[in-house]
């Protein structure tokens, strides 16, 4: 597995990471603990050195899973986790909380669950409108000085927030959604990151599974799968959005690859400092996704995909309104 450096930082990770959320949260029932540990360790064996989790995934259980799975490989891997939500006594999200004292409490708890001495990359999960980003960056700067955190990241932040945070504590990476069917970062964000020397970590690089070609208008999701409330995943939207999968299938047939591999290879080719973090709970999907790092798309292949995708109007918002309002601040 090739390595990539996140911006101008010294954080070098595998060209493809592993998003661990879906093993515990968001996509139906959590996987069996032993199955999750086996999958994460299989990723390490295949060259993955970058793992993404958060306190709210579960909550807490995903960090514990990642911590246990990676304990034998601590010196080989980088673990990213996140702060920024208030959780009630039952672990339910109860709004934002990026107050400096809360950030430091979350860091201490995450260190224990992850079984590490320092968090490699600590993201603000969502921008808190009630706390100046300078205060947030300052709190993480303190944690870096104390040796408890190595790098600062932001998730789904807007351009001005990135600039303001970066002026206080250099931002190593911005994490946001990016794929052939969600290309908003190409507008303002990617040029800003290039200017500032900040890496980009792409979550949902397979469009929450849609770009694998294994989901169509007849697919039904588990009752606790959050795609049930995503406008882009209504049956009507899935039927309309099949055009994107048809495009991927066309190129995949020519390259002797899968649609997922084409989607990931396209993303890897956009910038050398972009690291996709596809998630999966299946070993064969892990192998398929990682195979994209070896797939070479020609300039013509990339142009064909970019141009054709630009002519497809994707139906449905990527989040319900209430969630979309928390992004891009």
Active-site annotation, residues: 57
Which tokens go with 283?
A: 């070993």
Which tokens go with 17?
A: 């990471």
Residue with tokens 């205060």: 135
Q: How far apart are CA 29 and CA 175, in angstroms?
A: 25
Instruction: Give the list of residues 6+ apart from residue 17 with CB closer than 8 angstroms, or none.
Output: 48, 49, 50, 51, 52, 80, 201, 275, 276, 277
Instruction: Give the list of residues 6+ apart from residue 316 with CB closer than 8 angstroms, or none.
Output: 230, 231, 232, 233, 234, 237, 241
Q: How far apart are CA 223 and CA 206, in angstroms?
A: 21
Q: How far apart are CA 3 and CA 5, in angstroms?
A: 7
């Amino acid at each position: 597995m090739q390595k990539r450096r996140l911006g101008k930082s010294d954080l070098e990770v595998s060209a493809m990471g592993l998003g661990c959320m879906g093993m515990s949260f968001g996509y139906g029932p959590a996987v069996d603990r032993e199955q999750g540990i086996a999958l994460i360790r299989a990723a390490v064996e295949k060259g993955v050195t970058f793992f993404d989790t958060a306190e709210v995934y579960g909550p807490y259980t995903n960090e514990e899973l990642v911590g246990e799975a990676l304990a034998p490989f601590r010196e080989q891997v980088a673990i990213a986790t996140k702060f920024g939500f208030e959780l009630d006594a039952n672990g339910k999200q109860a709004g934002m909380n990026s107050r400096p004292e809360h950030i430091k409490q979350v860091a201490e708890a995450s260190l224990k669950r992850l079984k590490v001495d320092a968090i490699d990359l600590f993201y603000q999960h969502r921008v808190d409108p009630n706390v100046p980003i300078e205060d947030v960056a300052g709190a993480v700067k303190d944690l870096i000085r104390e040796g408890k955190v190595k790098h600062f990241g932001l998730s789904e932040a807007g351009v001005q927030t990135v600039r303001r945070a970066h002026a206080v504590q250099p931002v190593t990476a911005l994490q946001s959604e990016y794929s052939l069917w969600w290309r908003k970062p190409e507008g303002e964000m990617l040029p800003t990151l290039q200017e500032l020397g900040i890496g980009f970590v792409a979550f949902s690089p397979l469009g929450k599974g849609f770009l694998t070609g294994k989901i169509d208008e007849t697919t039904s999701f588990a009752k606790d799968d959050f795609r049930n409330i995503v406008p882009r995943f209504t049956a009507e939207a899935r039927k309309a959005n099949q055009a994107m999968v048809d495009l991927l299938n066309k190129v995949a047939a020519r390259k002797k690859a899968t649609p997922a591999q084409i989607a990931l290879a396209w993303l890897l080719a956009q910038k050398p400092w972009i690291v996709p973090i596809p998630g999966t709970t299946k070993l064969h999907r892990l192998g398929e996704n990682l195979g994209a790092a070896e797939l070479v798309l020609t300039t013509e292949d990339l142009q064909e995909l970019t141009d054709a995708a630009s002519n497809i109007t994707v139906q449905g918002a990527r989040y319900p309104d209430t969630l979309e309002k928390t992004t891009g601040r």
